[in-house]
Structure 1
Amino acid sequence: MKKIWKWLSILLIGVSIVSLSGCQSVTQRANTENTWDKIKAKKEVVIGLDDSFVPFGFETKSGKITGYDIDLARAVFKQYGIKVNFQPIDWSMNVTELRNGTIDLIWNGLTITSERKKNIAFSEPYLYNDQELVTLKSSNIKSFNDMKGKELGTQTGSAEIISLDQQPNLLKNKIKNKQPILYDSFTDAFIDLNAKRVSGLLIDSTYANYYMQHSGANHQYSTYVGAFPKSSFAVGMRKGDVTLRQKVNAALNKMAKDGQLKQITKKWFGDKYDSPLLNKYDK
């Protein structure tokens, strides 16, 4: 009987190893495979996004997905006759979703960082962004130093967390417990800021400016841009998707040349924007 159990145990271990190896090989293929031909054949590309990230990609009250990056993505793939399927995801799992092959691209105000470059490839950057501190004017907080001992909020999986960790003396070491309070979305973070459950938010200026402008309460907020370096937004993709990257870059550059990129950017940001792609051609 003991021999039977011994052989059963060996068999189960073997099956588990094979199963894990299979999963790893699938993930590995997804990371290295050049999928453009498959996308072109299906005439569909799947883009992962945080559907609460105004104004880049968000769901309206009627359930429609809209936003700056939505318009850009549709315009890019229209050039190739490819339909865009927007897939809401847990933003903190965006790289995992990409590497598992459940989405083809991350396109939703994605900041280029050295950490992310280790795992994914990026298109050319198409928009600059600052990371700014947003507070209520009534709190009289006007700088990072004024956040000493106070609670700071930011989004899970955001570039702001990376900035806080890379340059802790700028802000992280000043705030309460030297750790920010994390939110699934900046919409939730603003709810807590307005209720004074946190004293400030470290947030993308493009999101913050749009939110405050459309909140009807813009006069209630103060913003401060500290010494964190200006960041760039780009499209994230698997490193193996060399052709997909070339196609996205070619389409974005064409739009920068023919005025379509400027038209879409002005639609969402008015005259308050800075685009590295547009700067290349606006000379």
Structure 2
Amino acid sequence: MKRLMASILFLMAFFSIISTCFAEDNSWERVKSKGELVIGLDDAFPPMGFRQADGTLTGFDIEAAEEVGKRLGIKIKWQPTAWDGVIHSLYAKKFDCIWNGMTITKERAQQVNFTRPYIMDGQVVVVRLNEKNIKSFNDLKGKVIGVQKGSSALEAVKKLPVQPKKVREYDNNPKAFLDLDAGRLDAMVVDNVSGRYYISVRPGKYRILPGFITKEPFGVAFRKEDKKLLEVIQKEIDKMVADGTMAKISKKWFGEDITNPAKW
């Protein structure tokens, strides 16, 4: 009797595991039936996604995702979130994906699935235009550098040829730029796209040191189990690259096409 019960329990456990492994991935059907894709973002990350004066969202990622939604016949709902907990919030199902200039790293790829890169970016150093003592990465020794919490900028700092005196972390880049303006920071490490955007909207304030600390691809992140949803979104992004839509959006925000893998 004990052997029979043990066998039954074993079989129940076995089939439970098998059914879990072969569970149907309805991630796209779930989004399609709702008619809505909820996307997590840091809404203070220009030029990828940020608030205009009237409170509406704009930016490269905003326009690209909205175009995908239009082509799929679904609405895009944006869910602002703290960037340092964005992956946790994804698995808490506060949104369906993260589409906000997220750098693809080995560590993150263990937690989420990414689309193929849609932009090749990199980490750069921004200083005040009138800063005379910092001309290269080697001049950052003993300085105070600002980075955004949870961003890849912190890891980039570790790859500098010299190390700063202190690294200060901020909730978002705009707050860090305020401290750079006030002299509380000597420099900032940010995405190239962000650095160039701030220079374009505030001419005469900043400059970027020569060279990249790192080169970093951006991808859209999904929960590991949501493979079907990723597949559908990837197909639309591919179509937008092929028909020139991504290039058009890129030129609007960056002045050039940085979405074409052939140019990376």
- For the aligned pair, the TM-score class normalised by the smaller chain equals 0.7 to 0.9
Name 1:110's counterpart in structure 2: 102
The one-letter code sitting in structure 2 at the alignment partner of 1:275 is: T
The DSSP-based 3-state class of the residue aligned with 2:207 is strand
The DSSP-based 3-state class of the residue aligned with 2:224 is coil
* Structure 1 portions without partners, runs of 5+: 1-27
TM-score by length of 2: 0.86
Matches within 5 A, 1:10-21: none
1:74 equivalent in alignment to 2:66 = yes
Name 2:5's counterpart in structure 1: none
Question: Partners of 1:37 and 1:149 in 2: how far apart?
Answer: 54
The structure with the greater share of residues assigned to helix is: 1
Name 2:48's counterpart in structure 1: 56
The DSSP-based 3-state class of the residue aligned with 2:214 is coil
Contact kept, 8 Å, 2:124 with 2:212, in 1: the verdict is no
Deviations 1:43-88 (A, max 9, x none): 1010011111011111111110111101000111212111000011
Contact kept, 8 Å, 2:25 with 2:227, in 1: the verdict is no
The one-letter code sitting in structure 2 at the alignment partner of 1:240 is: E
Q: CA shift at 1:279, angstroms?
A: 4.6
The one-letter code sitting in structure 2 at the alignment partner of 1:232 is: P
Contact kept, 8 Å, 1:135 with 1:199, in 2: the verdict is yes
Q: CA shift at 1:225, angstroms?
A: 4.4
Percent of residue pairs bearing the same amino acid type: 37
The DSSP-based 3-state class of the residue aligned with 1:198 is coil
* Number of matched pairs: 241
Matches within 5 A, 1:162-181: 162-165=155-158, 167=159, 170-171=161-162, 174-177=163-166, 180-181=167-168
Question: Partners of 2:113 and 2:52 in 1: how far apart?
Answer: 30
Question: Partners of 1:266 and 1:133 in 2: how far apart?
Answer: 23
Name 2:229's counterpart in structure 1: 244
TM-score by length of 1: 0.80
Q: CA shift at 1:275, angstroms?
A: 2.2
Deviations 1:170-191 (A, max 9, x none): 34xx2114xx100111000110
Contact kept, 8 Å, 1:48 with 1:105, in 2: the verdict is yes
The DSSP-based 3-state class of the residue aligned with 2:195 is helix
Matches within 5 A, 1:130-279: 130-140=122-132, 141-165=134-158, 167=159, 170-171=161-162, 174-177=163-166, 180-215=167-202, 218-226=203-211, 228-271=213-256, 273-277=257-261, 279=263
Contact kept, 8 Å, 2:104 with 2:218, in 1: the verdict is yes
Specify whether residues 225 and 113 from structure 1 end up closer, same or farther in structure 2 by C-alpha distance, changes over 3 A only. Answer: farther
Contact kept, 8 Å, 2:199 with 2:207, in 1: the verdict is no
Question: Partners of 2:90 and 2:161 in 1: how far apart?
Answer: 32
Question: Partners of 2:118 and 2:213 in 1: how far apart?
Answer: 19
Q: CA shift at 1:130, angstroms?
A: 1.8
Structure 1 counterpart of 2:76, from 84, 87, 90:
84
Contact kept, 8 Å, 1:34 with 1:242, in 2: the verdict is no
Question: Partners of 1:34 and 1:164 in 2: how far apart?
Answer: 40
Q: CA shift at 1:226, angstroms?
A: 4.2
Contact kept, 8 Å, 2:43 with 2:57, in 1: the verdict is yes
Question: Partners of 1:277 and 1:265 in 2: how far apart?
Answer: 13
The DSSP-based 3-state class of the residue aligned with 1:115 is helix
Matches within 5 A, 1:122-133: 122-133=114-125
The one-letter code sitting in structure 1 at the alignment partner of 2:199 is: M
The DSSP-based 3-state class of the residue aligned with 1:130 is strand
Name 1:97's counterpart in structure 2: 89
The DSSP-based 3-state class of the residue aligned with 2:55 is coil
The DSSP-based 3-state class of the residue aligned with 1:121 is strand
Question: Partners of 1:80 and 1:176 in 2: how far apart?
Answer: 50
4+ residue segments displaced more than 3 Å: 276-280
